[in-house]
Structure 1
Amino acid sequence: MHKFLGFSNFIQKTFALWVLLFALLAMLSPNTFIWLKSYIPWMLGIIMFGMGMTMTLADFKGVMQSPKAVLIGVAAQFIVMPSLAFMLCKLFNLAPEIAIGVILVGCCPGGTASNVITYMAKGNTALSVACTSVSTLLAPLLTPAIFYLLASQWIEINAWSMLTSILQVVLLPIVLGLIVRGILKHNIQYYMPAMPLISVVAIVAIVAAIIAGSKGQILESGLLILAVVMLHNGLGYLLGYWASRLFKLPYADGKAIAIEVGMQNSGLGVALAAVHFAASPITAVPSAIFSLWHNISGPALATYWASRHQD
């Protein structure tokens, strides 16, 4: 078990490198990975199931202990990132299929990786977990609603169908994870070490599948999408932090909210794009690139903040 934990920790710490490696392999040999596209919703379901298995009532106690901070974090998540996405699409005059993908990832809830990054940054990890949990549970309603509001000018959107998809690939697996945790009780500790490793493998496979299926479009528009993703992510960190300072939250809370806002559940964006916009594979590319980039920028930001930690 000790060797397995060591291996799992190593894979998690080098997560961004694995995503980059398999993204490059997918570009070089698309046929090796393209078959994975049909399994993307299942892989995201596995990730969400793992999230459900890690959730406890203590995670939601943070909501009661810091309702103001959680409200600010969740509100910023669903206001800042969608708004930024919309403005960047207009600023860069993006093609409709790319714009839809950028807005889609902007409308997703916070990513679970934000909790680990907040811990690394010496921020308020409990607040980060609470914000992630609340934004994920609100996603079935808010993600399709905000996406419809912002993206319907580019394409006809079936918000009800999208809500159903999020319930299937996010909420249902989380509930199942909670049920399994309740059944296993104390024995859960024997299974939990495997979940982060499974999640990493699933995210890497999702990114590789999308890159493989969109090689041509990436070669044509990849640098533009990367630039938009970098701005989206970086401005998300910045505005999330400013929101916390505007409402005079403690420094540790500010770091948590900045990271929570800047890091998206890009796997959900990929899954929704693969299901609802299959005719335009490049729509999933912004989410795939976001998954790669925020796992580079997040640890970099955490290292910076940890180095100037205020006791």
Structure 2
Amino acid sequence: MQYVLKFSKFMTNMMAVWVILFTVIALIYPNLFIWIAPYITILLGVIMFTMGLTLSIDDFKEIFKQPIKVIVLALSQYLVMPIIAVSLVFLFNLPPEIAIGVILVGSSPGGTSSNVMTFLAKGNVALSVAATTVTTLLAPIVTPSLTLLLASTWLDISFSAMMVSILQVVLIPVLLGLGVGSLFRKQVDRVVDVLPMISMTWILGVMTAVTASNVDNILASGLIILLVVILHNSLGYVTGFLLGKIFKFNLADTKTISIEVGMQNSGLATTLAVQHFEPVTALPGALFSVWHSLSGAVLANVFGKIKEKDSDTMNQKFNQEVHV
């Protein structure tokens, strides 16, 4: 079992490499992965079930231990990224199908990968898990509401259909995972360290399927969409970090809000795009998955090296700039 755990940790730490590698392979040999496309919804359900397995009642207690911070993170998640998404859509004058894809990413809850990156960044993992849990539970109402509000100008959007989809592929699997984990806690604890590798495998399946299904669109307009994705993700990190300073969070919590705001459940955005819109609408979500895996790993590495003394110096500079 020890060797399995080491292998799982190695595979998870190398996620950015696998993301790039399999994306390139899917572009060159799409027939190897296109058969996965009909199963994207099932794959996301498995990912969310796995997330549920890793949760416990203590994670919900954490919400009540630091409610203000959780509320700030949740509100930031559902305000900052949608606003940035709409701004980028208008700035780049994106076509309707791509615009909705970008807005779907911005309107999605936090992703489970943010919890891993927060751990690597030496942030507040308990806060990250609590915030991800809250935004995920709110997703069936908030995500379709934001999408309807921000994207209905371009295409018809069914609130009820989107809500049902999120219930099916997110909320129900998470709750089932939580239930199974609570009933079989000892058994789940034995394999909990392997679960990130399992989630990573399914995430790669979703990404390669979307990539293989959109090779022509990626080659035609992939660079513009990638630029939008990079800006969306990066501005989320920066805004989250600044919010941490504004609310006078400590260093660990500031790292957490930065990562939590910048990283989205792009798998959900991709699934909703495939289910309710044209295939090309899934491109922003797929590319976001690729990019935020890379950027998150880099940012976690940088954050992990920042100590409290460095943070105090940064706080002084920030406060001076604000007063000026």
For the aligned pair, the TM-score class normalised by the smaller chain equals over 0.9
**Equivalent position to 1:286, from 277, 284, 287:** 284
Determine the structure 2 residue equivalent to 1:276.
Answer: 276
3-state SS in 2 of match to 1:154: coil
Name the CA distance, whole Å, in 2 between partners of 1:185 and 1:198.
Answer: 18
What percentage of aligned pairs have identical amino acids? Answer: 49
Q: Is 1:138 matched up with 2:138?
A: yes
Name the CA distance, whole Å, in 2 between partners of 1:182 and 1:307.
Answer: 36
Q: Which runs of 5+ in 1 are unaligned?
A: none
Q: Is 1:38 matched up with 2:50?
A: no
Once the two structures are superposed, residues 154-198 of structure 1 have per-residue CA deviations (whole angstroms, 9 ceiling, x without a partner) of 100001100000000001101111121122132222332332221
Determine the structure 1 residue equivalent to 2:298.
Answer: 300
Name the CA distance, whole Å, in 2 between partners of 1:230 and 1:204.
Answer: 19
The amino acid that maps onto 1:66 is Q
Structure 1 residues 181-260: aligned runs within 5 Å: 181-260=181-260
3-state SS in 2 of match to 1:193: helix
3-state SS in 2 of match to 1:248: coil
Once the two structures are superposed, residues 224-253 of structure 1 have per-residue CA deviations (whole angstroms, 9 ceiling, x without a partner) of 011000000000011111122222222211
Structure 1 residues 97-116: aligned runs within 5 Å: 97-116=97-116
Name the CA distance, whole Å, in 1 between partners of 2:301 and 2:191.
Answer: 30
Determine the structure 1 residue equivalent to 2:150.
Answer: 150
Asked if the contact 2:211–2:283 (Cα under 8 Å) also holds between the matched residues in 1, the reply is yes
Structure 1 residues 55-134: aligned runs within 5 Å: 55-134=55-134
3-state SS in 1 of match to 2:110: coil
Asked if the contact 1:122–1:309 (Cα under 8 Å) also holds between the matched residues in 2, the reply is no
Asked if the contact 2:16–2:297 (Cα under 8 Å) also holds between the matched residues in 1, the reply is no
Name the CA distance, whole Å, in 2 between partners of 1:16 and 1:266.
Answer: 15
3-state SS in 1 of match to 2:186: helix
Determine the structure 2 residue equivalent to 1:173.
Answer: 173
Aligned-residue RMSD, C-alpha: 1.0
Name the CA distance, whole Å, in 1 between partners of 2:67 and 2:179.
Answer: 26
Q: Please report how far the alpha carbon of residue 119 of structure 1 lies from its aligned counterpart in structure 2 after TM superposition.
A: 1.2
The amino acid that maps onto 1:300 is V
The amino acid that maps onto 1:306 is G
TM-score calculated relative to the size of structure 2: 0.93
Once the two structures are superposed, residues 36-63 of structure 1 have per-residue CA deviations (whole angstroms, 9 ceiling, x without a partner) of 1100010000000001111011112221
Name the CA distance, whole Å, in 2 between partners of 1:61 and 1:189.
Answer: 19
3-state SS in 1 of match to 2:184: helix
Asked if the contact 1:53–1:181 (Cα under 8 Å) also holds between the matched residues in 2, the reply is yes
Asked if the contact 1:46–1:173 (Cα under 8 Å) also holds between the matched residues in 2, the reply is yes
Deviating 4+ runs (over 3 angstroms): none
3-state SS in 1 of match to 2:165: helix
The amino acid that maps onto 1:84 is I
The amino acid that maps onto 1:288 is A
Name the CA distance, whole Å, in 2 between partners of 1:263 and 1:180.
Answer: 27
Name the CA distance, whole Å, in 2 between partners of 1:64 and 1:301.
Answer: 28
Q: Is the deviation greater in 181-190 or in 295-304?
A: 181-190
Instruction: Tell me the number of residue pairs that the alignment of Structure 1 and Structure 2 aligns.
Output: 309
The amino acid that maps onto 2:91 is L
Name the CA distance, whole Å, in 1 between partners of 2:200 and 2:96.
Answer: 31
Q: Is 1:8 matched up with 2:8?
A: yes
The amino acid that maps onto 2:63 is V
Asked if the contact 2:56–2:182 (Cα under 8 Å) also holds between the matched residues in 1, the reply is no
Name the CA distance, whole Å, in 2 between partners of 1:114 and 1:161.
Answer: 27
The amino acid that maps onto 1:298 is G
Name the CA distance, whole Å, in 2 between partners of 1:232 and 1:83.
Answer: 10
Q: Please report how far the alpha carbon of residue 94 of structure 1 lies from its aligned counterpart in structure 2 after TM superposition.
A: 0.5
